Structure 1
Amino acid sequence: MTTPYQLTYQLYYWPNLQGRGEFVRLALEEAGVAYEDVARQKKGMPALQGSLDFDEVDHPAFAPPVLRAGELLIGQTANILLFLGARHGLAPRAEAGRLWANQLQLTIADIVNEAHDTHHPLSTNLYYEDQQKAANVRAQDFVAERIPKFLGYFEQVLANNRGRGAYAVGSRLSYVDLSLFQLMAGLRYAFPNAMARQEHGWPRLVALHDAVAARPRIAAYLASKRRIPFNEDGIFRRYPELDG
């Protein structure tokens, strides 16, 4: 019998952004499973909007990303990765390990939210230029205090897993490692000067980033047109004045 995860997945996310959808794309690419990036296809935006509409689906998400797997419609990045990890060998089999992976993914979501708020500290409904003074203050704190606190934590997670491989959870690659790669890539894009000064303090994270980038399926994805470039409409944005 065909199970949902043997079907072609449908990913609903904004067509020109990496954003939170990129964490899901990386897992799908590493798993080597078929998926459609729906909103990037012709007439895909109405389908994306439908995944958020109470009139069209029973359990609409508040916002993308959303993943359709057969009859399942799953929202929230960490929730989607919890689902994919269990079905495609990207998470531990034991319950304790799966919960630990989910906990780490939720912590990654916290720093991703804070990275977004460096350029939109007052309101998502205002342009960056309308809140640049507040953004300068927020970004200075993020660079000086929050990046070291979060990445120092993840560095220790990797250190504590020594002897079980160079991974965050268990003895093999998980979706957490893919997400840490994306986090490092995004921070390097948005804050190249700050990261260049600081990342010598996180050698395991740097090594993990490089190891993930070199994995055959991920390397092929990064070199393909499926990988949307970082840009100033996404979560990680490069504004030189914020890169203290």
Structure 2
Amino acid sequence: MRYELFYWTGIQGRGEFIRLALEDAGADYIDVARKRGDKVIMSYLRGLQEGSLPFAPPFLKAGRLVIAQTGTILAYLGPHLGLVPGGAAAEFYAQQLQQTICDIVMEVHDTHHPIAASQYYEEQRAQARKRAQVFREERLPKFLDYFESIIERGNGRQALSRHSYVDLSLFQLISGLDYAFPNAMQRMRGRIPRLRALAERVADRPNIAAYLQSSRRIPFNEQGIFRHYTALDPAS
């Protein structure tokens, strides 16, 4: 099957979690908006296309199916791409972990847009500094300690019994946090050795290594979810 991924051009965003799964599996897919522009996404959001009505990208077209929401898309792709262990228990556990990753990604977004997504960061800097401080000091350690324990409770190397889309998403999470909060992440380094080792192993996977070196991998920037603002990540 040839998959069609719909996500905004110019940013990694939530679509990157889907791209990593497709790239790792060597799947046949097209990043539709990069070929045809963002307007093609709007036609789906306005209900002008057949299939289910997505609220926002990312969404994936697989045959006649239109599947939205990052966690739901990965739950669908996991068994089809061999990126989740077999059995209902493993599939549900993978979904649980992915939804928790989605939770922290939302909190990352809210560090630079704590008041309204419709307002620029520059319009809410004071509130962003307060929100980012709470994130760095309380939420970031809580989430990363949790994911570290997940790997420890498993086989010590992966989130599940074997490589899965959850590992790919944890790699993207760590990469994004390193970009957005390098100082906070440096302070966390000694607490998350298993997460660090996992991220390095994922980066070394042949298909992922090739993807990271390709033009398909959009660099992190200040238009996406993971943004680096010095005021939100002080050195001390």
Same-fold call, TM cutoff 0.5:
yes
Which residue of 215, 222, 240 corresponds with 2:205? 215
Q: Which residue of 2 aligns with 1:174?
A: 164
Q: Does the 8 A contact of 1:121 with 1:135 survive in 2?
A: yes
Q: Does the 8 A contact of 1:12 with 1:38 survive in 2?
A: yes
- Structure 2 counterparts to residues 1-244 of structure 1, below 5 A: 7-41=1-35, 43-162=36-155, 166-170=157-161, 172-244=162-234
Q: Tell me, in whole angstroms, the C-alpha distance in 1 between the residues paired with 2:222 and 2:57.
A: 18
Aligned residue type for 2:230: P
Alpha-carbon distance, 1:56 to partner: 2.3
Aligned length: 234
Q: Does the 8 A contact of 1:51 with 1:66 survive in 2?
A: no
Alpha-carbon distance, 1:211 to partner: 0.3
Alpha-carbon distance, 1:93 to partner: 1.0
Query: Deviation string for 1:104-132 (max 9, x for gaps)?
Result: 00000000000000000000011101000
Alpha-carbon distance, 1:46 to partner: 2.6
Q: Tell me, in whole angstroms, the C-alpha distance in 2 between the residues paired with 1:87 and 1:51.
A: 24
Unaligned runs of 5+ in 1: 1-6
Q: Tell me, in whole angstroms, the C-alpha distance in 2 between the residues paired with 1:45 and 1:184.
A: 28
Query: Deviation string for 1:43-65 (max 9, x for gaps)?
Result: 33232112222232341110000
Kindly report the root-mean-square deviation, in angstroms, between the aligned alpha carbons of the 2 structures: 0.9
Q: So what's the TM-score if we normalise by structure 1?
A: 0.94
Q: Tell me, in whole angstroms, the C-alpha distance in 1 between the residues paired with 2:140 and 2:229.
A: 17
Alpha-carbon distance, 1:167 to partner: 0.8
Q: Does the 8 A contact of 2:51 with 2:64 survive in 1?
A: no
Q: Does the 8 A contact of 2:3 with 2:29 survive in 1?
A: yes
Q: Tell me, in whole angstroms, the C-alpha distance in 2 between the residues paired with 1:73 and 1:52.
A: 11
Q: Tell me, in whole angstroms, the C-alpha distance in 1 between the residues paired with 2:24 and 2:180.
A: 25
Alpha-carbon distance, 1:213 to partner: 0.2
What percentage of residue pairs aligned between the two structures are identical?
55
Q: Tell me, in whole angstroms, the C-alpha distance in 1 between the residues paired with 2:123 and 2:37.
A: 31
Q: Does the 8 A contact of 1:32 with 1:217 survive in 2?
A: yes
SS at match of 2:27: coil
Alpha-carbon distance, 1:203 to partner: 0.3
Q: So what's the TM-score if we normalise by structure 2?
A: 0.97
Alpha-carbon distance, 1:228 to partner: 0.3
* Structure 1 residue ranges (4+ consecutive) displaced by more than 4 angstroms after TM superposition: none
Unaligned runs of 5+ in 2: none
Aligned residue type for 2:131: R
Query: Deviation string for 1:127-178 (max 9, x for gaps)?
Result: 101000000000001001101000000000000002xx611011x2100000
Query: Deviation string for 1:190-231 (max 9, x for gaps)?
Result: 000110111210000000000000000000000000000000
Aligned residue type for 2:203: A
